[in-house]
Structure 1
Amino acid sequence: METAKALRHLLSAERWRRASGGALQARARSALVPGVSQVDNKSDFLGNKPHRRHPGILQLPRVQLPQSLMHAAQILLLKDPIPNVEKQVQALTNYLWSRHLPVESEELQQRAVDLEKKILENADSSLTEEKLRGAVLSALRKTTYHWQELSYNEGLSLVYMAARMDGGFAAIMRAFHEIQTRIPEFQPQTLMDFGSGTGSVTWAAHSTWGQSLREYVCVDSSAAMLDLAEKLLKGGSESGEPCVPGVFFRQFLPVSPKVQFDVVVSAFSLSELPSRAHRTEIVQTLWRKTNRFLILLENGTKAGHRLLMDARDLVLKGKEKCLLDPRPGFVFAPCPHELPCPQLTASKPLACSFAQAYHPIPFSWNKKPKEEKFSMVILARGSPEKAHRWPRITQPVLKRPRHVHCHLCCPDGQGQHAVITARKHGRDLYRCARVSSWGDLLPVITPSSTQDTSGS
């Protein structure tokens, strides 16, 4: 009996030691995050709203394609059945997700030079120039990613529709929701979609701003994809009235430099371009066409995120060159700053990505709810002072007893792991953090913004 009591005592003491140690660690981590020590109470950021509806909440409930679009997609797949469609859909999904950017010619040349030096170091005197060239080419083929341009014919367009239309729609809806929530008075009249594919952007824009949009310009180099998008608009047939009025299809971007659109979108299309030079040219053109917002989306991978950061920097650094529209550009979302991305400058670079839940098109193999993981950047013309400069939550929020873990991208360009407690940071911020999610803004002022405010 005495032994059992002693054992229980030791176990309870050990549990207490672990618990107190964990609490001390949490407080230590919390103390290392001075950037989240003050809520912007001066502006009464909550107003009369409950914490679960604080102004940084940007969550979008699980989305679903419009019924008419889902029905049209099902009709088209029944009209032209694809052999082993489920396998083809999965193969295309995997291929698009794992795709890397094409290797640039300068990088390829440098790799060839390095391989040649390495081969010569270990070669004997019998190695001829012809054999050396062959060895270098062989090594390059084995170590270089072979990027290939996808040619969307009628069959591949249908597979893409079945594989990607619903997930792409979900990501676009999340981007539009960000603008609509933060600037509810914004009522765009014109939209251009570069790399429009199946037309998901048009449907998402119509669902968001259908009462004000009067012109949608869909640009895609694939005639088969444009034809498919038009059929989807007409309920799965080649005749009939389109569900969304004012939609125009083109294979090339508008030529006139004076033509601008309130919203310009490129969703999962920049990664389809064959080189950095092509991407640079297209991004510059899209920005010139932008009157208010330029929305760029890609897969939530390192390659997709890096591509978007290159596009972001290109617009921000080249803003003085846009003669027809000299208004400066700034990052509306997700970054609360125009500084280098802390995810890319970290010792182990990570992709800045977000997730949106959605209901897939109910094909026989496709009935469970899913999540679309994507990266985005929304660039806007105007002044960044009008935008929220609150920290962005960049990873899933971890809720623990009496404390919350939040990974934040802050207005000073730094990434922070904040451990927020009611005792240290105040009841309001703690409760706001507990109800916030990945992708939301946390209504807090950091030391840098406090200094800026006091100095102004």
Structure 2
Amino acid sequence: MATASGLRVLPTLGGWSHGLGVARQSRALAVLVPCVTQVDNKSDFLGNRPHRQHPGILQLPRVSLPQALSDAAQLLLRTNSVPNMEKQVQTLTNHLWSRHVPVEPEELQRRAADLEKKLGNADSSQAEEKLRGAVLRALRKTTYHWQKLSYNERLSLVYMAARLDGGFAAVSRAFHEIRTRIPEFQPQTLMDFGSGTGSVTWAAHNTWGQSLREYMCVDSSAAMLGLAERLLKGGSESGDPFIPGVFFRQYLPVSPKVQFDVVVSAFSLSELPSKAERTEVIQNLWRKTSNFLILLENGTKAGHRLLMDARDLVLKGKEKSPLDPQPGFVFAPCPHELPCPQLTASKSLACSFSQAYHPIPFSWNKKPKEEKFSLVILARGFPRETHCWPRITQPVLKRPRHVHCHLCCPDGHMQHAVITARQHGRYKRDLYRCARVSSWGDLLPVLTQSELPPSPAQDPSEN
């Protein structure tokens, strides 16, 4: 293996910026995947911290709803009798998780034309009518039938019982990453598009507390807005809200000058009926973002693809809009801005993460659960990281004296890294120990091949 000059990842308390330094060392860097990924076990990225607190750790312990919110949700279900609630919750959950992106009109026309060619040409008006009927029947069988959900008071309660706790857990994980990597960030304003039951407001208040002074909740459903307001008031129609400064409206603020420190769209892009409408909404949300735009969807292929489309839309349009004076960049989870390797693989996979949580203790809902979700966080107004560590994209497999980590690397490729106690155990076993305490969604403190300059002492013949 060719040697490389020692690279040093400077320790930072928040993990927001990492510096690179060069120090001459005689030993070769440890190899994760030969000739692909390398790491400097002797770097001082840990500082004085133990391995279980290395700066790439972003995991959040199992979360619980604030007691006031849990009590309010249980009170609302007791006072509003909904027949067969458990069955309705399961039906809605299955529907939301099996949802696909609506088929665009252009794609539908293309499929219809292909079916017409396949089924044969019609020579008479009667045959043409039969052909048209056959095409329509074939389309109904082969095309996903997307329907917009209309949230009335009953369905809003069912949605609250099904998704309030899981949505709170996913959003809490996204907020936790921002707070961990930029502890000095103290937002004052937040906008939640598609606010639903208001879980984003509760999670933001739970994360930043009194720092936030204004919450703007936007949802097209008046029933959802009313339910979210009752949850803030402990389940009643009157009284003081648990969180002050929360405002509700059915439409986005029109003025482009109105911006918010944090803008969130959680599980809402999948509720929009067309690509054109999603594009308009994403552009509007980005214009209203002064620091962070957080987008979350279900951890499915459909949800992940929606988020990657939104990410690419923002990144490609950053130089074109006069309303975006500060260019945006990807804050999480991607360590790069290249095409997602999960989508470009021969067999596409969803890039998703998991957050453990305690559900609302309904009669059917008492065991701890995991919320699987996809997310992308776009940022501006902050300096970019000068160095990015790979993201762990699957559960870490811990075996005797070795660890398997699946990594999304800064060069835009996926790597399966096998870290052993023998190969990576020297120099205080920093890498091996860090890998064993890391989890799905964390950053692993390694340097990939694309980040390593050639060693000045390297013999060209070695290559």
TM-score, normalised via structure 1 length:
0.90
Give SS of 2:297's match.
Answer: strand
Tell me the distance in 2 between the aligned counterparts of 1:80 and 1:235. Answer: 14
Instruction: Output the amino acid matched with 1:171.
Output: A
Give SS of 1:217's match.
Answer: strand
| Residue equivalent to 1:358 | 357
Unaligned stretches of 5+ residues in structure 2: 1-30, 457-463
| Shift of residue 239, structure 1, vs aligned partner | 0.4
Instruction: Output the amino acid matched with 1:96.
Output: L
Tell me the distance in 1 between the aligned counterparts of 2:186 and 2:75. Answer: 33
CA offsets 1:161-202 (integer angstroms, 9 cap, x no match):
000000000000000000000000000000000000000000
| Shift of residue 402, structure 1, vs aligned partner | 1.6
Tell me the distance in 1 between the aligned counterparts of 2:208 and 2:63. Answer: 16
Give SS of 1:451's match.
Answer: coil
CA offsets 1:185-228 (integer angstroms, 9 cap, x no match):
00000000000000000000000011210000000000000000
Tell me the distance in 1 between the aligned counterparts of 2:35 and 2:376. Answer: 27
| Residue equivalent to 1:284 | 283
Instruction: Report which stretch shifted further, 182-191 or 124-133.
Output: 124-133
Instruction: Report which stretch shifted further, 243-252 or 445-454.
Output: 445-454
> Once superposed, what is the RMSD of the aligned Cα atoms?
1.8
| Residue equivalent to 2:45 | 45
| Shift of residue 445, structure 1, vs aligned partner | 1.1
Query: What aligned pairs does 1:215-364 form with structure 2 within 5 A after superposition?
Result: 215-364=214-363
| Shift of residue 452, structure 1, vs aligned partner | 10
| Residue equivalent to 1:184 | 183
Q: State yes or no: 1:410 paired with 2:409.
A: yes
| Shift of residue 124, structure 1, vs aligned partner | 9.4
Instruction: Output the amino acid matched with 1:236.
Output: G
| Shift of residue 41, structure 1, vs aligned partner | 4.5
* Alpha-carbon spacing, 1:254–1:387, altered in 2? closer, same or farther (3 Å): farther
Tell me the distance in 2 between the aligned counterparts of 1:419 and 1:410. Answer: 15
| Shift of residue 40, structure 1, vs aligned partner | 7.0
| Residue equivalent to 2:461 | none
Give SS of 2:310's match.
Answer: helix
CA offsets 1:110-138 (integer angstroms, 9 cap, x no match):
000000000007x8989711111111111
Give SS of 1:262's match.
Answer: strand
Tell me the distance in 1 between the aligned counterparts of 2:160 and 2:284. Answer: 27
Instruction: Output the amino acid matched with 1:314.
Output: L
Alignment: residue pair count = 423
| Shift of residue 446, structure 1, vs aligned partner | 1.1
Instruction: Output the amino acid matched with 2:451.
Output: S
Tell me the distance in 2 between the aligned counterparts of 1:299 and 1:126. Answer: 47
Tell me the distance in 2 between the aligned counterparts of 1:342 and 1:183. Answer: 27
Tell me the distance in 1 between the aligned counterparts of 2:126 and 2:255. Answer: 57
Tell me the distance in 1 between the aligned counterparts of 2:168 and 2:177. Answer: 14
Unaligned stretches of 5+ residues in structure 1: 1-29
* Alpha-carbon spacing, 1:279–1:452, altered in 2? closer, same or farther (3 Å): farther
| Residue equivalent to 2:398 | 399
C-alpha contact 2:32 2:38 (8 A) present in aligned 1: no
| Shift of residue 33, structure 1, vs aligned partner | 4.4
Tell me the distance in 2 between the aligned counterparts of 1:36 and 1:383. Answer: 29
Tell me the distance in 2 between the aligned counterparts of 1:126 and 1:304. Answer: 43
CA offsets 1:140-176 (integer angstroms, 9 cap, x no match):
0111100000000000000000000000000000000
Give SS of 1:89's match.
Answer: helix
| Residue equivalent to 1:441 | 443
* Alpha-carbon spacing, 1:203–1:388, altered in 2? closer, same or farther (3 Å): farther
C-alpha contact 1:102 1:275 (8 A) present in aligned 2: yes
Tell me the distance in 1 between the aligned counterparts of 2:59 and 2:185. Answer: 19
| Shift of residue 324, structure 1, vs aligned partner | 2.7
Tell me the distance in 1 between the aligned counterparts of 2:288 and 2:125. Answer: 59
| Shift of residue 31, structure 1, vs aligned partner | 6.5
Tell me the distance in 2 between the aligned counterparts of 1:31 and 1:445. Answer: 10
| Residue equivalent to 1:62 | 62
CA offsets 1:47-99 (integer angstroms, 9 cap, x no match):
11111111101110000000000000011111111000000000000000001
Tell me the distance in 2 between the aligned counterparts of 1:251 and 1:373. Answer: 28
Larger helix fraction of residues = 1
Give SS of 1:416's match.
Answer: strand
* Alpha-carbon spacing, 1:452–1:260, altered in 2? closer, same or farther (3 Å): farther
| Residue equivalent to 1:430 | 432
| Shift of residue 259, structure 1, vs aligned partner | 0.6
| Shift of residue 422, structure 1, vs aligned partner | 3.3
| Shift of residue 382, structure 1, vs aligned partner | 4.0
C-alpha contact 2:175 2:204 (8 A) present in aligned 1: yes
Tell me the distance in 1 between the aligned counterparts of 2:34 and 2:403. Answer: 13
Tell me the distance in 1 between the aligned counterparts of 2:259 and 2:267. Answer: 21
Instruction: Output the amino acid matched with 1:86.
Output: E
| Residue equivalent to 1:198 | 197
Query: What aligned pairs does 1:8-157 form with structure 2 within 5 A after superposition?
Result: 32-39=33-40, 41-42=42-43, 44-120=44-120, 128-157=127-156
Q: State yes or no: 1:165 paired with 2:167.
A: no
* Alpha-carbon spacing, 1:191–1:440, altered in 2? closer, same or farther (3 Å): same
Tell me the distance in 1 between the aligned counterparts of 2:454 and 2:442. Answer: 23
Tell me the distance in 2 between the aligned counterparts of 1:321 and 1:236. Answer: 46
Give SS of 1:386's match.
Answer: coil
Tell me the distance in 2 between the aligned counterparts of 1:452 and 1:283. Answer: 42
Instruction: Output the amino acid matched with 2:439.
Output: S
| Shift of residue 451, structure 1, vs aligned partner | 3.3
Tell me the distance in 2 between the aligned counterparts of 1:292 and 1:423. Answer: 44
